[in-house]
Structure 1
């Protein structure tokens, strides 16, 4: 089962939607905590729903269970947590939420986890897909788009 991840930061709308279209993404899986900030530009929730359908024929799906908690994210952004500690707390959060049992794996087939970070190395979208893959017997073939 092919699944992708992408961040919108440092990408024009043209680059962003070209990457998604080239990867033949069928649904955008929004794992962000903040979906309407000014920084989001073309990826604000209402605009993204419209553009994804009209430009690439992809469904928009919110996956709030994969978003970090507000306080956890705030502490990381304020450098009160290192990446390593944030990552451990986030994975523990996914385990407490038992997301592997509440999410339908079929959603991830040709799906693309969306967050803001340009690259996946320090982004919770990568942690989320790695966590799910470890629980779903490595059924996900993951590609990071950037």
Structure 2
């Protein structure tokens, strides 16, 4: 079972959609706090939903429960906290939101072929990696491989 992640920054629309098609993605789970920013380009929420369905036949869902709070994100971007502090605060947040049970209930039958979307070009310092690892750890009885596209 594969759980994918992707960031759209530093990718053209052509590259982005070709990567998704090549990897047989079935659903994009957009875990950005804000999916309507001017900086989102071709990945603005409603536009992205249309493009995914039309170009690739991929479903789209925006779920901010899997996003950091504005405060955590702002503190990290403004260098008030380190990546390690961000990671700890984000993990605490998703534990407080009881996402393990929500993920089990909502996504257990869809994990294979889901792709977590955020803006960062790489997953290393992005919350999508943390969410993917959280899902893998909470669905530990499944053999989930995380693939960062």
SS of the residue aligned with 1:68?
Answer: coil
Structure 1 residue ranges, 4+ long, deviating more than 3 angstroms after superposition: none
TM-score (norm 2): 0.94
Shift of 1:124: 0.1
Q: Deviations over 1:75-98 (max 9, x none)?
A: 111010100100110011111111
After superposition, residues 114-129 of structure 1 pair within 5 angstroms as 114-129=117-132
Shift of 1:106: 2.0
Shift of 1:135: 1.5
Q: Specify the alignment match of 1:53 in structure 2.
A: 53
Q: Specify the alignment match of 1:35 in structure 2.
A: 35
RMSD: 1.0
Shift of 1:3: 1.2
For 1:17 and 1:27, the matched residues in 2 are separated by: 12
Structure 1: stretches of 5+ with no match in the other structure: none
TM-score (norm 1): 0.96
For 2:84 and 2:123, the matched residues in 1 are separated by: 14
For 1:108 and 1:45, the matched residues in 2 are separated by: 21
For 1:49 and 1:133, the matched residues in 2 are separated by: 26
Identify the match of residue 142 of structure 1 among 136, 141, 146.
146
Aligned length: 145
Q: Specify the alignment match of 1:99 in structure 2.
A: 99
For 2:43 and 2:49, the matched residues in 1 are separated by: 9
Q: Deviations over 1:26-67 (max 9, x none)?
A: 000000001011110000001100000001100001122101
Q: Specify the alignment match of 1:69 in structure 2.
A: 69
